[in-house]
Each structure stands twice: as structure tokens, then as C-alpha cells.
Amino acid sequence: MSENVERVVLVSPSEIPTESPTESSFRQRYAKELEKKRVPGIDNYYGPDELLEEKARVNQQQMKTPGRRGEIIKQEEIAKAIVRRLLIQQR
């Protein structure tokens, strides 16, 4: 197992701040886009980890423009996708 795994804190839905329909739509579209990213070890794929590459791109963009809501949503969705992929690998 990789040692570059981040800790994800799960919160109840009542603790999540409400987001606008635009943010919700963006979150859904981005989550679907992340599902297309390929990860080594799943479905006999042994190329580069596209999910970690996307995470690096978002981190780089977040350093350039800190505090933008889009990058924050992307970070949250990438963390969820990584957890989902780890659960799939453990089965």
C-alpha cells in the first residue's frame, strides 16, 4: 500500500455548509470526470496514476490562486475518489 495516502475526515451532512446549485453541479460533473481517471492495479492497468497527477495539478493551481472555491471542491472530490479506489482495491 502506498504511503502517500491522506487522512480523510468524514462529517455528517448537517455539518456541511450548504452550497449553491452551481457548486453542486460542478461537484457532480467533476466527480464523474474523476471516475474516468485510471489508477494502477485496477483492471490490469499499469500506467501512470492519473488520479495522483490530477491531484498534483490541482495543488499547483491552488498555490497560484489560493482560496478559490473550485479548487477546494476539486480537493474534496479527489480525496473521496482516492478513498473509493482504496476500498475497491481492498475487496
pLDDT tens track for 41-57: 666 677 788 888 999 99
CA distances from 14 to 10, 17, 18 (A): 12, 8, 9
The burial class, CB within 10 Å (0-12 / 13-18 / 19+), for 23 is middle
Helix ranges restricted to H, the chain: 21-35, 50-64, 69-90
Whole-prediction pTM: 0.69
Retrieve residue 58's grid coordinates: 490541482
What would the mean pLDDT of 76-90 be, rounded to a whole number? 86
- The per-residue pLDDT for 6 is 66
Tens of pLDDT along 14-40?
A: 566 677 889 989 999 999 998 888 877
The amino acid occupying position 37 is: K
